[in-house]
Amino acid sequence: MSWTVEPRDPRTQSEGVVAGYAHTARRWPSQPLVVRPHDTGELSGPAKLERRLPPSKADLAGRGASRALGQLIHVRARVVDEDGAPVPGALVEIWHCNSAGKYLHPNDSSDSPPDPNFRGNARLVAGDGGLVELRTIKPAAYSVPDTDGWWRPPHIHFSVWGRVWLSRLVTQMFFPGDPLNDHDAILNAVRDPDARARCIARMAPTAGGPGNALVYEYQLVVRGRKAAPRMP
Amino acid sequence: MTRLTPTAEMTLGPFFPREFAQGANDLTIVAGKRAEGEVIEITGTVTELDGKPLDNVVVEIWQADAKGRYDNPNFFGWGRAATDAKGVYTFRTIRPGRVGGRAPHINFLILYSGLMRQLQTTMFFELASDPVLNVVKAKERLVAKREGTVHRFDIRLRGEGETPFFDD
């Protein structure tokens, strides 16, 4: 199967130096990015990546006496390509902060309390239909150090592999209805309002779902579609 | 016909889990066996404006095997490393062969806090004629400096000596 990856649409993708996010002015290249031809190396990718990156449990919240603090949530994320075709076997990494806004990471210097029962991250393999499901707790909002009152809305980080090298997707999922969503420098760097809206999860009916957990559904669209057959 | 818009990429943030970046930077061993080819080390420092080294930058690579194949079941051409507090990343791998009309090369992908999306670049072993290297102006910045079996490939995100990056 051969794949094609078309140029990014600058309205639905952000890049460059972003107002209110100082690190972007120190890290995004000052020179224009160079357009290059794509060959096998860009349009192929590793098969069965879980051989290098072993999957983990799909539960960050724990149970009973070792249950993490916070609102239980159940995240259903579906990985599809630009044709809308599911990507079964896609590897998905997920991480987020705890219910007090603290990451399980030595570089998080905030004085928010850690939660010894919160596991912090998971690595999952998409099943049939491109679906991964994670039981966790809802992350809190937190203030960003050394900024003028920037608060990150509650969000979950995703790192996803699609069909080929250029399909790599790292993004963040937001929660519907949070007033901080309208002010976040990262979410609002995406200019197209529809593209922004697609970065916000959908709250699904809880009936028939796992007990005592709010259910959020999210779609992750990785770059790439089937190449059109060559003209004879 | 369905045509979905790819999800907007967003920054990796500063707190990419340390454990995610461990154990995937040695491409020379697959299922306990050593892959065929010349073993090399690739190392470099990732810096920002003014040359400050960056901690916990995620660097991923994808390359062909020693014979220029991407689909060799006995070589896993993908790897990942993260920079340490001094901004240094390291891979152990096999020197890739020529792929069709391409000079030997390794594709690099950079993910980090302050980058709104991934950056793509490519490391070459020499200033060769190559359809990708040919479209780059500062070609020498994409050529690793050889020190014995070690190939040094420093990545400057912005500023003096900036690494050329690709718009894919």
Q: Nearest by CB to A198, which of B7, B48, B62? A: B7
Q: Is A25 helix (H, G, I), strand (E, B) or coil?
A: helix
Residues of B in Cβ contact (< 8 Å) with A16: 116
- Residue B1's pLDDT band (boundaries 50, 70, 90)? low
A196 at the B interface (CB within 8 A)? yes
Q: What is the dihedral of CA A205, A220, B60, A43, to 10 degrees?
A: 150
Q: Which residue from A141, A136, A133 is spatially nearest to A118, judged by alpha carbons?
A: A136
Residue type, A56: S
- Residue B56's pLDDT band (boundaries 50, 70, 90)? very high
d(CA B126, CA B134): 13
B109 at the A interface (CB within 8 A)? yes
Residues of B in Cβ contact (< 8 Å) with A46: 62, 76-78
The pLDDT of residue A209? 74
pLDDT digits (tens, 9 = 90+) for A65-103: 999 999 999 999 999 999 999 999 999 999 999 999 999
Q: Nearest by CB to B116, which of A16, A33, A93? A: A16
The pLDDT of residue B31? 86
d(CA A165, CA B120): 10
B31 against A193, higher pLDDT: A193
Q: Would you say domain B18-156 falls under CATH 2.40.50.140?
A: no
A51 at the B interface (CB within 8 A)? yes
Flag if B167 and A24 touch (Cβ within 8 Å): no
Phi–psi pair at A124, nearest 5 degrees:
-130, 155
B113 at the A interface (CB within 8 A)? yes
Strand partners, A79: A220
Question: Tokens 């996010």 identify what position?
Answer: A21
Domains of chain B, residue spans: 18-156
B148 at the A interface (CB within 8 A)? no
Q: H helices of chain B, where?
A: none
d(CA A134, CA A132): 7
Q: Which residue from B131, B73, B76, B74 is spatially nearest to B101, judged by alpha carbons?
A: B131
d(CA A34, CA B137): 9
The pLDDT of residue A208? 72
Question: Tokens 């919160």 identify what position?
Answer: A118
B148 against A36, higher pLDDT: A36
pLDDT digits (tens, 9 = 90+) for A194-219: 999 999 999 998 887 787 899 999 99
Q: What was the ipTM of the complex prediction?
A: 0.96
The pLDDT of residue A207? 81
Alpha-carbon separation of residue A114 from A98, A108, A111, A143, B149 (angstroms): 7, 10, 9, 16, 44
Mean pLDDT of B93-104: 96
Flag if B164 and A31 touch (Cβ within 8 Å): yes
**Has residue B8 got a pLDDT over 80?**
yes
The pLDDT of residue A197? 98
Residue type, A187: L
d(CA B78, CA A165): 10
Domains, in order of start, for chain A = 55-104+114-222 (2.60.130.10)
Per-residue pLDDT of chain A (232 residues; tens, 9 = 90+): 689 999 999 999 999 999 999 999 999 999 999 999 999 999 999 989 999 999 999 999 999 999 999 999 999 999 999 999 999 999 999 999 999 999 999 999 999 999 999 999 999 999 999 999 999 999 999 999 999 899 999 999 999 999 999 999 999 999 999 999 999 999 999 999 999 999 999 999 888 778 789 999 999 999 999 987 766 5
Flag if A37 and B63 touch (Cβ within 8 Å): no
Q: How many residues in chain B?
A: 168
